[in-house]
Structures are given as structure tokens and as C-alpha cells.
Amino acid sequence: MGYIGNDLQVAYPNYTNIDDISGSFNGVTTSFALTVGGVAPVPAPRGSNQCMISVGGVIQRPDDTGAEGFRLSGGNIVFSSAPNTGEDFFGIILAGADYVNVGANFPSGTAAVPSITFDSDLDTGILNPAANELAFTTGGTQRLSISSAGQLSNNLGTAGAPSYTFTGDVNTGIYSPGADQVAISTNGTGRLFINSSGSVGIGTSTPSTLLEIKQDQDANTRLRISNATNGSSATAGIHLGPYGGNWYLEALASASFANPLRFAFDGTERFRFTSDGRLGIGTTGPAVACDVVGQVRASTGILFGSDTAAANALDDYEEGTWTPSFSGGSGTPNTMCIIGHYVKIGRVVYITLNATSVCGGSGATFTQITGLPYTASQTGGETKFQMAPFYQRDNDNSTLSGAVVSTYAGVFQNTSTLQMSSTVTIPSNSKSYHLCMTYYTN
């Protein structure tokens, strides 16, 4: 017999009387049912040495071979020789806490009556709820089980009473709010949740994306990523990896340059914000509020100062060339090497032209210039402009024969033709002209 100890309780915590069977003694029958209170005991003794039996005042020897005394078989007491009529009987099942046969099998038990229990706490212990499973029960309720695959399981628990907790802090731990879900609670409140799709929610049990952070409050709800190292390569950021490339959003240490926030794609910086509010595109050291190295396009215009009127937006800037044509006088002037340039800012057009070898005319007339780069916003009315006719250099290109600079008035005969309001003679010999003026277009 193997000694287990006084703490572990098997079968019964105290000695148990076996029902009196002496009324069935007849000198012939050797096998009698072993009952306690009219029913078979649960758990039943596993061997004859777990019982003590007396017949006719003589203690019977437990002998599982059946050669003498008695043995237990199929829930019966079987004597080696039949007791005689009139002999008395006394029997007890020994207290299970004291003696258990080595290798003996325990009954499966239930949550309310576990197989192995404890003194004065008979509904707390260990049981076998199913084949190849082991479970623990407390207060008559199954709590923890180990499956045939070695999996450890517990009840679902709640945020206030999680299934897996810590000594002295029973409202903090791990629990399952529902099927295929797991959660972590602190101070009785669920904090982190993982749903059946693998999405993680912090502050929400129903995350709508792979990771959702939620805290409804009249205060800041933030996600912090920190790096306390002040080095030129130290960053704190986020790496976004879509198909075909990698985006990086990084905050740089102050050792770099004014703690900038940098946006980079595949290792190449695209733009950054400095801690003093400057935006740099194409430059790592913006010197003004918005410093761009490259072209800038504003589809609806640019406003200046505190102006918010859409009509005042600068919505166009252009530079280019145009080809002017001269007419006037009694002849047809010939023009060569005509170069016209313009700058358009919004509705304002500034034009210049240089025309060399303007000749072939005769007599003074109201000279007309056509081919303007943009049509005028209105016709009629005088417009002052500068027009300077220059005499051509001598053939040897060594001396300048002379020059005259004059201010002329002109009108727009139509939206594309400028006519001088005072006469200008286009001479028969070659001259060079220079003109500059400003007008409005629609």
C-alpha cells in the first residue's frame, strides 16, 4: 500500500460503515453486494485491503486471490467460505486519505463531487470530465481544464473578473469577451481587444481596422513613438509599406536641424516641416515659411496678405515671345530680325519688341502694330508707351549714326491692333525700333 498523506482526500474523508449483510448469511452464499446507505459507494474501494470486515466476531483477512478471508469483485464482497446463518457482520471502508493502492484507478468524478478532494471542502478538487481530459473544480463549478492535446482552458471571465489574473489584483488580467476574442483588463475595465479577424482595438472592443485606438474625451487622444537619443541619425517615425514602395514619416532629433518632421519615399526625402513652422520642398533647410526648390503650381491663384477675395487672386504668370508686324505709310515696310517678348501677370500684359531693318515706307502715317500676344480688354482710349527709333550703325559697324527716344500715345483699333495716335515716319532707309508697353487683357 502506498501512503499519500493527510492533505489529499480520496473517496471519503472518514471511515465509512458498510451496510449489514448478515441477514443474507445462509451457509451457502459467498458473494454479497457491498453497499453504503443502500447504494454502491462512489467512489468504490479498489481492493480488499481498503476494507476491514468481521464475521462472527472474527476479523477476515483481505485476500484478493480468494484463497482465504475475503476479496472484492464487481462491487461485491466475496468470502472464501460461506458465512453461517446467525453470524454477525461488521464492515468499514477505510478513510481514503490514509491508504491508496499504488496504481489504483480513481473514478471520473463530477464538478460537484470531484474524484480527488480536500478535507472539509468536498466540492473542490480534481476530476476527469471526459476521456484524456483533466479538470479542476472549486465550489462545485469546473474552472480549469487540460484537453487531450495539452491545451489549458478556463472560463471566459469578464473585465471585472478576468480568467487569468494576479495575486492581490484580481480585477486585472486576461479574459475572453466572446467567441474567438481575447482581451486584457486593468482595474476592472477592458483596455485591449483582439477580435476574431485579428484586428486590435485599444479603447474599443470593435476595431474597424487592423489597429484602432479610441478614447472619447475632452482631451488629447494620442499615439506616441519616442526616441530619446540626440544623434544625427536618430528618428522616431512610422514606416508605411504599400506595394511598390516605402513611405517614411520621421521626426528627427534636434542634432539634425530644428527637429524637423520628414516625409521620405524609398529613402529619398520629399519634403519636411521644421519645428518653427517652415515647409521645405526640395530643401532640407527652408529659409522662409515655404521654401520650394522646383516649380510651383496653384490651380486657382495666389492671395497675398490677409486678402481672401477670389477676384484678387493672382491666378496666372507667363513668359514668352511674340511676333509683331508693322504697317503704315504709303509703302509697305520691310521688317527683319523682329524679336518680341512678353510677361503676363494675371490680367496685366507687359510687352517689348526689337525690330531691326524697318524700312520701305514713305511719308508719315499712323503706324500700326499687330500680332499682340494677348487681346486687349477694351478698344479706344489712349495708352502711353515708349517707342525708340534707333538709326542703324554704319556699314563698318563702328559708329552709331544717331538715336531718338520718344513717348507716343496709341489706341487699340481693335483687340489685337495697336495704332499710334501721332505720326511716326517709317523711313525708306533701315532703322531699328524698340517698344515697351503695358496693357490689360481679359
CATH code of the domain in which 344 resides: 2.60.90
Q: Tell me, what's the pLDDT at 319?
A: 94
Same domain, 190 and 80: no
Closest by CA position to 184, among listed 159, 153, 213? 159
Do residues 324 and 433 share a domain? yes
Same domain? For 432 and 324 the reply is yes
Instruction: Please report whether residue 310 resides in a domain.
Output: no
Rounded to the nearest integer, the mean pLDDT of the chain is 81
Q: Is the peptide bond before 43 cis (omega within 30 degrees of 0)?
A: yes
Q: Which residues constitute the domain of residue 201?
A: 164-213
Angstrom distance (rounded) from CA 271 to CA 291: 10
CA dist 432 and 419 (Å) reads 18
Residues 253 and 232: their CA atoms lie apart, in Å, by: 7
Same domain flag for 334 and 434: yes
Residues 325 and 434 in one domain: yes
Total domains, the chain: 5
- Residue 431 shares a structural domain with residue 339: yes
User: In this predicted model, what pLDDT tens digit does every residue of 156-200 receive, in sequence order?
Assistant: 999 999 999 999 999 999 999 999 999 999 999 999 999 999 999
Burial status of residue 284 (CB atoms within 10 A of its CB: 0-12, 13-18, 19 or more): middle
User: Which range, of 190-194, 215-219, 334-338, 424-428, averages the lowest pLDDT?
Assistant: 424-428
Range of weakest confidence among 18-27, 70-79, 139-148, 297-306? 297-306
Please tell me the pTM assigned to this model.
0.54
Q: How far apart are CA 224 and CA 213, in angstroms?
A: 12
Beta strand segments in 139-187, E? 141-146, 152-154, 164-166, 169-175, 182-186
